[in-house]
């Protein structure tokens, strides 16, 4: 075995660019799948595995330093573009002031506090300013996976997503301005340089972002490009905007692609859902690869050397910087106290912090080397000043070598702290559930209301959505939460509050609406948790390609046996009722099935308190423990069964 491991290590040490990229992609996908299975933040596993892989093979050795950092820059730009495409101003019509404050006042307070913390820990004041600028960011690479698992309220989700995406380029621009000020030397020359750089950055970003966005909008509205090229066209546009922007003004590219994405995402009736889906798939791949690569640049010796300082710094970030900056920044904005406390408990750092740190740490070393070479070729009268300035930059560059491992520790620990802790805090404040189990029913009828009532009695959140307000009267009278909306409307698809919801069942009388809604909400609930009723008059699958509906055009069929809406309605009209049945060794599932015979329709199963599953033909139902919610008809001359609860009052 040791010989085999040695052989593997030797082969990895000599791996080429293609082999390294293939390895990184395979490992990143595997890590994200394992994290999903274990229910842990994927980024945490990516960082730890990437760190271990980096001790065997490093990205710089396989790809070269320049290619690696340029690839990181482009990939981060694509991630920010994808995230900004989903930022819709309509989502924050009641949150515009808090969002502005999060992206301005809160950032400035955090910058000041982080800078002070770094300075008190012994960093040079100029380097402390740079650290502060870099670490004001959170970012979509860490926020989005947590929100996807947590599914909080619309307000909390909007605030965190807007802050994460908007502050990322702001942090990069701040870091650039500090970097340029450090290189300028004297304060008299630094201030004009910083102001000029800021003006050029904003001008280039908004000019290029809005201009290119307007051009893309014209192309899309005139249908000048075929649909199959839309995804790659927007990808090429984002990469081109990033590179051109950085060429015109260094480090302005991230702001440019963010402006481009927000502009396109908010153009009226410009449908980019298929583009966004293409970008989402790329983002999942790129995020995993980035964290694997960047974590591999850190060595154990670097971590050990900076660990004591990093842990104190981390405590300041979590216990002081984030709470103070959020609580002060959002005062008087209409954000509730509990919402501020939750936001104060959520600030994981992501890939932009890691990438920008690597770029500027390298930039300081290069600037010091360049200045030293310039001093060697200048007249003696000017040489002393240049040598002194080069010496100062070199000392800063030497100190900056601590930044990469410091930020690595901050990223790992903040992802762990916030990723594992935010669910409990959000649940305590009533903003989310760490394991969403709620059920969304689309369409209303007696059996839907009865089923929803039973699920509520089992502690499962429910929501009934229907387009007819009057039709929801019975549900409202029963105390079941309702929402009047067309499930295929822009509001329902993009803005509906789904906090705590984990399952989707489309049960309207229209089969095509059910199928379309189930497919659409797979993006939110996943294909495993999005269901529709069986299509009316059709079997679940005859094997005939001409008569069966294509599988990708339907959701999963719900219930056992899977029945159509008309069949379920007819059974209720004929006198069947929805009941809960407590299973036990004395009353097994087989006993229940024998008692009710063919009239039994199992709707939901609960194996343990607080967790529910939609019954389906492929589900292994509980046998002798747990509860089933089922539509039943009491047979004549049969022994009475014991129910888990009284049947819900029927509603029409």
**What does the pLDDT read at residue 637?**
47
Least confidently predicted of 75-84, 85-94, 199-208, 494-503: 85-94
CATH class of 438-632: alpha beta
Q: How confident is the model at residue 6 (pLDDT cuts 50, 70, 90)?
A: low
pLDDT(7) > 70? no
Q: What pLDDT is recorded for position 443? A: 92
Where residue 645 falls among pLDDT bands split at 50, 70, 90? very low
pLDDT, tens digit (0-9, with 9 covering 90-100), for 238-260: 999 999 998 998 878 888 998 99
Cα gap 43→105, rounded to integer Å: 28
**Up-side HSE of residue 207: CA atoms within 13 Å toward CB?**
11
Confidence of residue 642 (pLDDT cuts 50, 70, 90): low
Q: Picking from 7-21, 189-203, 542-556, which range would have the lowest pLDDT averaged per residue?
A: 542-556
The DSSP call for residue 439 is E
Domain extents in the chain: 2-429, 438-632
Q: Is the pLDDT of residue 651 over 80?
A: no
pLDDT of residue 188: 57
CB 479 within 8 A of CB 462: no
**Residue with more model confidence, 25 or 196:** 25
Mean pLDDT computed over 7-29: 76
The tokens describing 447, both together, are 């059996």
Range with the lowest mean pLDDT among 195-199, 379-383, 596-600? Answer: 379-383
**Cα–Cα nearest to 617, from 606, 630, 602, 599:** 602
Q: Radius of gyration (Cα) for the chain, nearest Å?
A: 29
- Is pLDDT of 212 > 90? yes
User: pLDDT, tens digit, for every residue of 557-598?
Assistant: 999 999 999 999 999 999 899 999 999 998 999 999 888 888
- The answer to whether 595 and 537 have CB atoms below 8 angstroms apart is no
Closest C-alpha to 375, from 386, 364, 367, 385: 386
Sequence-distant (≥ 6) Cβ neighbours of residue 65 within 8 angstroms: 362
CA-to-CA dists, residue 282 to 12, 75, 232, 493, angstroms: 26, 9, 11, 22
Angstrom CA distances, 426 to 10, 102, 293, 495, 620, stand at 47, 19, 32, 20, 32
What number is the average pLDDT over the span 107-111?
Answer: 93
Mean of the per-residue pLDDT values of the chain: 82
Residues 6+ apart with CB under 8 A from 140: 79, 80, 82, 83, 161, 164, 165, 168, 283, 350
Cα–Cα distance between 127 and 567 in angstroms, integer?
Answer: 71
Cα–Cα dist 289/281, whole Å: 13
- Answer positive or negative: Cα dihedral of 501, 503, 507, 512: positive
Q: Say whether 438-632 and 2-429 share the same fold.
A: no
CA angle 524, 449, 649 (to 5 degrees): 150
- Going by C-alpha positions, the residue among 359, 417, 506, 403 that lies closest to residue 43 is 417
CATH topology assigned to domain 2-429: Na+/H+ antiporter like fold (1.20.1530)
Sheet of 462-466, strands arranged across: 482-484, 462-466, 438-442, 501-506, 530-532, 556-557
Q: What is the pTM of this model?
A: 0.74
Provide CB contacts within 8 A for 2, sequence distance 6+.
none
* Residue 380 to residue 157: CA distance in whole angstroms: 61
pLDDT at 82 over 70: yes
Each residue of 57-68: pLDDT tens digit? 888 778 877 787
- Bridge partners, 532 (sequence order): 506, 557
Average pLDDT over residues 364-372: 73
Phi, psi for 490 (deg, rounded to 5) = -60, -40
CB-based contacts of 493, cutoff 8 Å, min separation 6: 520
Over the range 570-587, which residues count as b (16 or more CB within 10 Å of their CB) and which as e? ebbeeebbbbbbebeeee
The contacts of residue 93 (CB under 8 Å, 6+ apart) are none
Tokens (6 digits) for 46:
């990516």
Worst-scoring range by mean pLDDT, 72-81, 86-95, 112-121, 252-261? 86-95
d(CA 436, CA 498) in angstroms, rounded, equals 9
The model's confidence at residue 236, banded by pLDDT at 50, 70 and 90, is very high
In this predicted model, what pLDDT tens digit does every residue of 455-507 receive, in sequence order? 999 989 999 999 988 889 989 999 999 999 999 887 887 778 887 888 999 99
pLDDT at 649: 40
What pLDDT was estimated at residue 249? Answer: 86
User: Which pLDDT score is estimated for 227?
Assistant: 83
Q: Round to whole Å and give the CA distance between 527 and 530.
A: 5
Q: 394 or 544: which carries more pLDDT confidence?
A: 394
């Amino acid at each position: 075995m040791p010989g085999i491991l040695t052989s593997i290590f030797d082969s990895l040490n000599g791996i080429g660019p293609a082999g390294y990229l293939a390895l990184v992609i395979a490992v990143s996908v595997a890590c994200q799948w394992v994290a999903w299975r274990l229910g842990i933040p994927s980024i945490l596993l990516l960082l730890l595995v990437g760190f271990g892989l980096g001790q065997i093979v490093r990205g710089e050795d396989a790809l070269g330093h320049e290619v690696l950092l340029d690839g990181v820059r482009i990939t981060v730009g694509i991630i920010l573009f994808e995230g900004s495409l989903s930022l819709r101003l309509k989502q924050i019509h009641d949150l515009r002031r808090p969002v502005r404050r999060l992206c301005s006042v809160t950032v400035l307070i955090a910058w000041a506090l982080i800078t002070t913390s770094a300075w008190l820990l012994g960093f040079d004041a100029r380097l402390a300013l740079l650290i502060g600028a870099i670490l004001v960011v959170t970012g979509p690479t860490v926020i989005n996976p947590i929100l996807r698992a947590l599914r909080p309220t619309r307000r909390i989700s909007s605030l965190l997503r807007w802050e994460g995406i908007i502050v990322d380029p702001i942090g990069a621009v701040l870091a650039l301005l500090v970097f340029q000020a450090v290189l300028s030397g004297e304060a008299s020359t630094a201030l004009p340089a910083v102001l000029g750089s800021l003006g050029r950055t904003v001008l280039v970003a908004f000019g290029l972002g809005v201009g290119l966005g307007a051009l893309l909008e014209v192309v899309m509205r005139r249908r000048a490009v075929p649909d199959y090229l839309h995804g790659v066209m927007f990808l090429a546009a984002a990469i081109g905007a990033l590179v051109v922007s950085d060429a015109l003004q260094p480090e302005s590219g991230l702001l440019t692609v963010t402006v481009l994405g927000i502009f396109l995402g908010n153009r009226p009736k410009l449908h980019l859902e298929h583009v966004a889906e293409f970008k989402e798939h790329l983002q999942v791949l790129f995020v995993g690869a980035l964290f694997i690569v960047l974590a591999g640049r850190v060595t154990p010796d670097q971590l050990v050397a900076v660990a004591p300082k990093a842990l104190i710094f981390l405590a300041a970030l979590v216990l002081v910087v984030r709470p103070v900056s959020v609580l002060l920044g959002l005062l008087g904005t209409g954000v509730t106290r509990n919402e501020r406390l939750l936001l104060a408990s959520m600030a994981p750092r992501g890939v932009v912090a890691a990438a920008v740190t690597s770029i500027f740490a390298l930039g300081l070393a290069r600037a010091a080397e360049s200045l030293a070479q310039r001093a060697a070729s200048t007249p003696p009268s000017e040489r002393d000043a240049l040598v002194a300035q080069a010496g100062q930059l070199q000392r800063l560059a030497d100190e900056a070598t601590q930044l990469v491992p410091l930020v690595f520790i901050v990223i790992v620990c903040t992802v762990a702290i916030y990723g594992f802790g935010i669910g409990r805090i959000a649940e305590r404040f009533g903003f989310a559930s760490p394991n969403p189990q709620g059920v969304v029913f689309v369409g209303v009828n007696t059996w839907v209301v009865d089923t929803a009532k039973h699920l509520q009695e089992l502690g499962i959140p429910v929501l009934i959505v229907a387009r007819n307000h009057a039709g929801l009267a019975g549900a409202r009278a029963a105390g079941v939460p309702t929402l009047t909306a067309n499930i295929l409307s822009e509001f329902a698809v993009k803005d509906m509050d789904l906090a705590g919801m984990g399952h989707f069942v489309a049960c309207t009388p229209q089969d095509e609406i059910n199928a379309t809604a189930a497919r659409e909400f797979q993006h939110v609930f996943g294909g495993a948790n999005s269901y529709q009723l069986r299509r009316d008059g059709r079997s679940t699958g005859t094997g005939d390609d001409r008569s069966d509906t294509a599988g990708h055009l339907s959701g999963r069929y719900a219930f056992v046996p899977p029945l159509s809406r008309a069949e379920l309605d007819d059974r209720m009209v004929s006198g069947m009722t929805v009941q809960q049945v407590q299973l036990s060794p004395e009353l097994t599932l087989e006993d229940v099935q024998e008692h009710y015979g063919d009239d039994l329709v199992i709707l939901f199963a609960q194996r343990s308190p607080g967790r529910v599953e939609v019954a389906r033909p492929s589900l292994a139902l509980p046998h002798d423990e747990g509860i089933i919610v089922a539509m039943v008809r009491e047979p004549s001359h049969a022994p009475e069964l014991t129910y888990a609860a009284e049947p819900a009052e029927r509603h029409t």
